[in-house]
Structure 1
Amino acid sequence: MHETTQPNSEEQLAQPIAQAERKVVMDVRNITKSLPLGREQIAILKGISFQILSGEFVSIVGPSGSGKSTLLGIIAGLDNPSTGQVFIDDVDITRMTESKLAQVRNNKIGMVFQAYNLIPTLTAQENVEVPLYVGKHRVSPSTRAKELLALVGLTHRLGHRPSQLSGGEQQRVAIARSLATDPAVVIADEPTGNLDARNGENVLKLIADLRAQTGKTFIIATHDQTVASHADRAIRIVDGLIGSIDTTGGRITQ
């Protein structure tokens, strides 16, 4: 007679509840992008489709020339596809007027760049406040900026300008700024590209910690498979197509 182990009732309930709470925050549907080269059209993206759930940490990985950067610009609302659609929080961002798209970018998409893109004449706190000067927000820019800088461990740097901060600290300010408007998705373009290995690892750990604390969805674009391996899933772009989507804890399928 074989003895069967009965699962704990709390364990049985936890998984369905967790799944039910997660929703699709980004739905990319058959995106193509072609650019003119003389009299010809060169296909950069050739039909990209994927979905990202709330609270996921996903990497988009591919070498230079794979179409990764073009895809990133489209899902961030910075460029339009030739065909296809991108939905963020059920809103199609691919066929909007520039003014409406600017509102969506401000409210639903947080961006982190390789070069930090901080305003050199502003303090760390003032840089984080900048996105909050557009639209209406539930707390004052000052209060929100202080909260976020505390979250990334920079309470002691509120009044420092970018030139007074290390590269790792500047990227932490940039990450805090990306969270300012409580966006649906934070997209980071090569966020460790300008950092040494130790600071790069610290930034990746910070992103993982922030995801755990805030439940935010993070998407990292990178050419570095070590960086990509920190994510829950890796979407690998090869020659304008999805080569693989890895769902085994970030270990990229070759």
Structure 2
Amino acid sequence: MYKQEEGDVSSSPQETVPPVLEALNITRRLPLGREHIDVLKGITFGVQRGEIMALVGPSGSGKSTLLGILAGLDNPTSGQIVLDGIDITHMSEGKLARVRNSKVGMVFQAYNLIATLTAQENVEVPLYVGKHPGAPSARAQQLLDLVGLSHRLKHRPAQLSGGEQQRVAIARALAADPTLIIADEPTGNLDRQNGQNFLKLIADLRTQTRKTFILATHDPAVAAHADRVIHLMDGVIADRGERDAEADDE
């Protein structure tokens, strides 16, 4: 169902190439005293390879819960998550950890850099989990150069600006060559100019690496830079923007 048949050239790319991520009828129910609350109520969508998708919703919409499920950090109550052709819904924690390390890169609002490590060492951290080709130091240097920080390799987070720390976090998310990058409120701690710089960097990285990005945000400016926007409200998809047909043809 999720794998393209080799040598099949009779169909269009949209028909033969599966989504990088599929969320299929995802629900999440949490206990609330003697009652329960339905945080997610049947969420279904797919994210195409190389797409920048924005996930937008107010506090309480279920956005953070959905993000954790998409990243493999939490399990849905029901439904299915298929990541790069792999059903991760009922995986053991050991297997799921390996999939997360190889398939998903995370960028957090607070950056989550290790204060005692240099920029280069922070980017190297994911490469010491699992097996990855090449030397971690060389890979980290390459990625920091890609995000414009080749001159800051030996600086620790406290010696970097907010925008620079965010770039280190992006380089770290790319370290294990994941299929999908998930960014949670990525411009929340940045001023307007650095926020714009971040959006340009994401667009450039998509062009250079063909990575897929999900940006969870409250910021309309961030959503405006996405190929598609999914709006969550009270645990359901209230609106979903359609992809530009011309962009699909490129």
TM-score, length of structure 1 as denominator length? 0.89
Provide the secondary structure at the position in 2 that maps to 1:24: coil
Q: Deviations over 1:25-49 (max 9, x none)?
A: 1010000001111111110000000
5+ residue gaps, structure 2, are 1-10, 245-250
**CA–CA separation in structure 2 for the residues paired with 1:32 and 1:224:** 25
Structure 2 matches for 1:92-241, cutoff 5 A? 92-241=87-236
**CA–CA separation in structure 2 for the residues paired with 1:213 and 1:86:** 27
Q: Deviations over 1:183-232 (max 9, x none)?
A: 01000000000001110110111011100110000110011222111100
8 A Cα contact 1:152 1:172, kept in partner: yes
**CA–CA separation in structure 1 for the residues paired with 2:136 and 2:170:** 16
Q: Does 1:90 align with 2:90?
A: no
Equivalent AA in structure 1 for residue 42 of structure 2: G
Equivalent AA in structure 1 for residue 121 of structure 2: E
The change in CA–CA distance for 1:20 and 1:213 in structure 2 (over 3 A counts) is: farther
Provide the secondary structure at the position in 1 that maps to 2:124: helix
**CA–CA separation in structure 2 for the residues paired with 1:125 and 1:181:** 14
Equivalent AA in structure 2 for residue 185 of structure 1: L
2:50 alignment counterpart:
55
Larger radius of gyration: 1
**CA–CA separation in structure 2 for the residues paired with 1:102 and 1:217:** 20
**CA–CA separation in structure 1 for the residues paired with 2:80 and 2:231:** 19
Q: Does 1:79 align with 2:74?
A: yes
2:20 alignment counterpart:
25
Provide the secondary structure at the position in 2 that maps to 1:44: strand
5+ residue gaps, structure 1, are 1-15, 250-254
Provide the secondary structure at the position in 1 that maps to 2:61: coil
Q: Give the number of aligned pairs.
A: 234
**CA–CA separation in structure 1 for the residues paired with 2:154 and 2:13:** 40
**CA–CA separation in structure 2 for the residues paired with 1:228 and 1:173:** 22
**CA–CA separation in structure 2 for the residues paired with 1:247 and 1:28:** 17
After TM superposition, give the deviation of residue 22 of structure 1 in Å: 4.8
Provide the secondary structure at the position in 2 that maps to 1:117: coil
Provide the secondary structure at the position in 2 that maps to 1:87: strand
1:5 alignment counterpart:
none
8 A Cα contact 1:131 1:177, kept in partner: yes
Equivalent AA in structure 2 for residue 107 of structure 1: S
2:247 alignment counterpart:
none
Provide the secondary structure at the position in 1 that maps to 2:20: strand
TM-score, length of structure 2 as denominator length? 0.91
8 A Cα contact 1:22 1:55, kept in partner: no
2:238 alignment counterpart:
243
